[in-house]
Amino acid sequence: MTISKERKEELEKLEESIGYIFKNKNLIDVALTHSSYINESKDKNRSSNERLEFLGDSILDLVVSEELYKNHKSYPEGKLTKIRSRIVCTSSFSKASEKFNLSSYLLFGKGEISHNGREKKSVKADTFEAFCAAIYLDAGYVFLKNFLMENYYQTVKELLENDLLFIDYKTKLQEYFNKTNRTILKYKLAKEEGPEHNKTFYMDVYAKNKKLSTGKGKNKKEAEQMAAMKAYKKLNHE
């Protein structure tokens, strides 16, 4: 399969951001090709990322299971299963995809683009699974595991500790204020740090002109959730 010059340049930007150069460029190209693109283009020489997504799902399940087994020797099977289910899920993988903005590299059908497909959690999660499968096939299991631990371990740890994968604190905080004085909360970017491919964002949450708290994250949405969580827990004395 021939990859156009424009597509190669686009994929090279991703390789630069993740710090890995694919030996087989077709793998990462396919990993970032949505089925809607294939359906619309009718190009029989191209494949969508669905098969890689299938493989990636199993590999990620293995990586997470292995790390939980090794690092939590006192946990019974039931607790390990519960924690794994919170990591190996659409919400978690969707957030993981956002670190390198993977969906922005997806080849999409026009119909899916018009329905804001790039922002769908399921699309982001599927893309992350396919992306990981491509790394696995190109570089091997050990490299993939090290890549995931280096780029996602701390984030997953914080998300689990704060229940951010399951609790929408922005909604909970707004509901709290709706009960009292119907104040519409506002979130403002305080600052951002780090290189373009690995920024940390700081967001403030305000009730009228009063700053309630500041949160940080690898994207603005995550930082907003952290700010909302801190404010909510403070208000409820948690």
Residues 103-158: tens digit of each pLDDT: 999 998 887 777 777 888 899 999 999 999 999 999 999 999 999 999 998 878 77
3-class secondary-structure state, position 11: helix
Q: For tokens 């990993």, name the residue.
A: 31
Going from N- to C-terminal start, the domains of the chain cover: 5-162, 169-237
Does the global pTM surpass 0.85? no
pLDDT tens profile 206-238: 998 899 999 998 788 889 989 998 999 888 876
CATH of domain 5-162: 1.10.1520.10
Domain 169-237 belongs to what architecture? Answer: 2-Layer Sandwich (3.30)
Mark 121-158 as b/e (b = at least 16 C-beta within 10 Å). eebbbbbbbbbbbbbbbbbeeeebbebbeebbeebbee
| Longest pairwise C-alpha distance within the chain | 61
What is the distance between the terminal CA atoms of the chain, rounded to a whole angstrom? 56
Residues 6+ apart with CB under 8 A from 17: 100, 197, 198
168 is catalytic: no
129 is catalytic: yes
Residue 193: strand pairing partners? 200
Q: For tokens 């292995």, name the residue.
A: 66
Q: Which two tokens stand for residue 158?
A: 């914080």
Which of 29, 98, 112, 129 does the annotation list as catalytic?
129
Domains 5-162 and 169-237 share a fold: no
Give the C-alpha separation, 130 to 67, whole Å. 21
